[in-house]
Chain A
Amino acid sequence: MSAHPVASTLRGFSQALARTLVSEDAAHSGGLLQGIDPRAKLVGMLALVVASALAHRVPTLLALLAVGVGLAVASRINLWSLARRVWLVAFVFTFMIAAPAMFLTPGVVLWQWGGVVMTANGVHTAVLLVLRVEAAVTLSTLLVLTTPWMWLLKALRTLGVPVEVIALLAMTHRYLVLLAETANQMFESRQSRVVGKLKGAEQRHMMINTGGVLLSKTMAMGDEVYMAMLARGFRGEVRLLADFRMKVRDWVAVAALLAVAAGAVVAGR
């Protein structure tokens, strides 16, 4: 069953939905990052992500990763969950890509076995890549985990993202869950009516047909949503209720995060 494409699709939906719920839970639990104004957090954490992208030195990347771990602990994020969901996945994916570079990059020979040569330059490149990805993924995940999605979207206004785009993102996220559930139900109802094992072409036909019905439902739902918007007084203008207020601790937080990012940029060169 595990190799069945329909089953793996269903598992993908379930995981996506589960992640949505987990993220909202963590965002509402009391902790350091949860208590900071979303705008301050967005600017500060993005600065750290950019700093990790700019860093060219292993110690700097290790320090940024340590900052991420420290912030996770202070924000009551489950480290085991973070390790399993973020660090391990990022490590496996990046290491698979970076590992051949240890042998393909020219440089001082560290180890040789026949024609296989591991170089210092290659190892340095691979370590840099893995650490940079780990640091960036940790920091960006913390931002998302500790901020309710709607607050994060509203905070994007700080970066000059147009209000229509924010409304579109909010609407996409909202109906994404609904469409995923609809697709899930369609697959389940189809599966429950299938006896025996379908051939590859039959499975493909079934999935594409499901996708087609889902697309029809999507467009119909778009029209229904539009009608509902009109019924609630939509006149073509998108407005957001921005009720954030920066307090002293928020200014301190953003200053501290920007200072760490600036320090990392200087030290990482």
Chain B
Amino acid sequence: MHIPDGYLSPSTCATMYVASAGFWWQALRRTRRQMLGRALPRLALMAAFCFVVMLFNLPLPGGTTGHALGVGIAAIVLGPWGGMMAVSLALAIQALFFGDGGITTLGANCFNMAIAGSITAWGLYQLIGMGSTANSKRRLVAAALAGYGSINLAALLAAIELGIQPMLFHDASGAPLYAPYPLHVAIPAMMLGHLTIAGVAEALMTAGLFGYLRRNEPGLVGLAKDDGATPRTPRSLWGGLALLMLLAPLGILAGGAAWGEWAPKDFADQAARAQIAAASGNVAAPAVAPLGLARLAGVWTAPLPDYAPRFVKSAGFGYFLSALFGVGIILGVVWLVQIFSGRGGGGMAEGAAEISEERER
């Protein structure tokens, strides 16, 4: 997954450096605040640890072996910003010093593995582990899926970056100038190995290390020993959720239909056709709706079409009600999952609160 020099065009490399720079800047800004503390040596040593873990050749079920990246455990221990800094440092040293991964492609490699990987790992760990107690199996599963999800998203991003090269960069005769395989080849080729081997290695390594730390150093993974105390409800999360629901009507500020979300009737409507053409680089839409679209569009009729119940006249209020309804369904499903997994008494996001409080300390 470490893309070497020469596989990506310079413009792709520059774009990925710019994309990564924003995250690096933000991560550094947050780290700078902690420079008087232990952040500097901890980040450096976690980066060194990630590098060493990348050398581990882990035996996998089925007899094969695979290498982990360490991005999952780095994100769980240091949080998303610390994780992306640590893994970026490890990747930079690999590229600069060991020639593993290119210098021109370092921005892309860091974006895929360190940045997207850390955010995904941390997000999945929080989402799935949310509400579970410190010693629950769910947290272990959350750590495993954090590792698995992060490595596979990173692989998918790398495959997309490689797969768009022949479309965008080819000579007059059509011969690709950089990575030669289009998306329909690059994505399956990259994902096959990561879904089956590298992802499993990362999942096992993340869950294994998480389990070890939970037993022996719970503070490092933001957990206190499970003392059965009633967890606190994180008010900030509820407040943020309420704010997002109130902001839901902002969506109606944008006029017209979202690109690619057209209804069959839009193809016959002149105003809608003009909008489609304007949003599609002045390429006119087909005269009639494509047959497949027309056939499948009526398969399912949503109970709240266009986010507005029929009895509500105000579009803004309709959006707010839809947000309330959607959040209610999600909370209901999570509540049911908690009941069936025997964790009904826990606060909704107790785990997230513990971890965020630990990070703030």
Contact yes or no, B32 A164, CB < 8 A: yes
Minimum C-beta distance from A252 to chain B (A): 24
Q: Who on chain A is nearest to B102 by CB?
A: A136
| B37-77 to A contact mask, C-beta < 8 Å, 1/0 | 11011111111110111011111110101000000010001
Contact B96 A144 (CB under 8 A): yes
Instruction: Say yes or no: A121 contacts B93, CB within 8 Å.
Output: no
The answer, among B10, B44, B177, for a CB contact under 8 Å with A125, is B177
Residue of A nearest to B25 (CB): A162
Q: A53-B104, A162-B28, A207-B59 are in contact. Are A179 and B205 (CB under 8 A)?
A: no
Determine the residue in chain A with the shortest Cβ distance to B42: A222
> Please, how many angstroms separate the alpha-carbon atoms of A203 and B204 in the complex?
13
| B contact residues, total (Cβ < 8 Å) | 72
Per-residue B-contact encoding for A152-190, CB less than 8 Å = 1, 0 else = 100000000010110111011101101110010000000
Q: Are B208 and A208 in contact (CB under 8 A)?
A: yes
Would A209 and B212 be within 8 Å (CB), given that A5-B59, A101-B181 are in contact? yes
Please classify the interface of chain A as helix (H, G, I), strand (E, B), loop, or mixed, using the class held by over half of its residues.
helix
Question: What is the CA–CA distance of A37 and B281 in the complex, to the nearest angstrom?
Answer: 50
Q: Cβ of B53: which chain A residues have Cβ within 8 Å of it?
A: 211, 214
A34 to B227, CA, bound (A): 61
Question: A75 contacts the other chain (Cβ, under 8 Å)?
Answer: no
B18 to chain A, nearest CB (A): 14
Does A29 reach chain B (CB closer than 8 Å)? no
Contact among A100, A176, A205, A222 for B38, CB-based, below 8 A: A222
Q: How many A-B residue contacts, CB cutoff 8 Å?
A: 245
Interface contact B180-A126, CB-CB below 8 Å: yes
Residues of B within 8 A of A124 (CB): 171, 173, 175
- Name the A residues within 8 Å of B59 (CB-CB): 5, 200-201, 203-204, 207
Residue pair A16, B98 in contact (C-beta under 8 Å): yes
Please measure, in the bound complex, the distance between the C-alpha atom of A211 and the C-alpha atom of B104, giving whole angstroms. 31
Question: Which residues of A sit under 8 angstroms from B175, Cβ to Cβ?
Answer: 105, 107, 120-122, 124-125, 128
Contacts of B51 in A (CB 8 A): 172, 176, 179
Which residues of chain A come closer than 8 Å to B213, judged between CB atoms? 212, 215-216
Q: Mark A213-241, 1 if CB is under 8 A from B, else 0.
A: 11110110111011001000001111000
Known: A133-B4, A169-B93, A208-B208. A179 touches B103 (CB 8 A): no
Within 8 A of A (CB), among B170-192: 171, 173-181, 185
- Whether B55 pairs with A180 at a CB distance below 8 angstroms is yes
Question: Which B residues form the contact surface with A (CB < 8 A)?
Answer: 4-10, 13, 28, 31-32, 35-38, 40-49, 51-53, 55-61, 63, 65, 73, 77, 85, 89-90, 92-93, 96-99, 102-104, 171, 173-181, 185, 204-205, 208-209, 211-213, 216-217, 220
- Show the binding face of A for B, using Cβ within 8 Å: 5, 8-9, 12-13, 16, 19-20, 23, 46, 49-50, 52-54, 56, 86, 90, 93-94, 98, 100-101, 104-107, 120-122, 124-126, 128-129, 132-133, 135-137, 140-141, 144, 149, 152, 162, 164-165, 167-169, 171-173, 175-176, 178-180, 183, 200-201, 203-205, 207-209, 211-216, 218-219, 221-223, 225-226, 229, 235-238
Instruction: Rank and list the top 5 A-B pairs by shortest CB-CB distance, nearest first.
Output: A212-B212, A208-B208, A136-B5, A171-B44, A101-B180
Please name 6 pairs of A and B residues whose Cβ atoms are closer than 8 Å in the assembled complex, sorted by A.
A124-B173, A176-B93, A208-B209, A211-B205, A223-B41, A223-B42
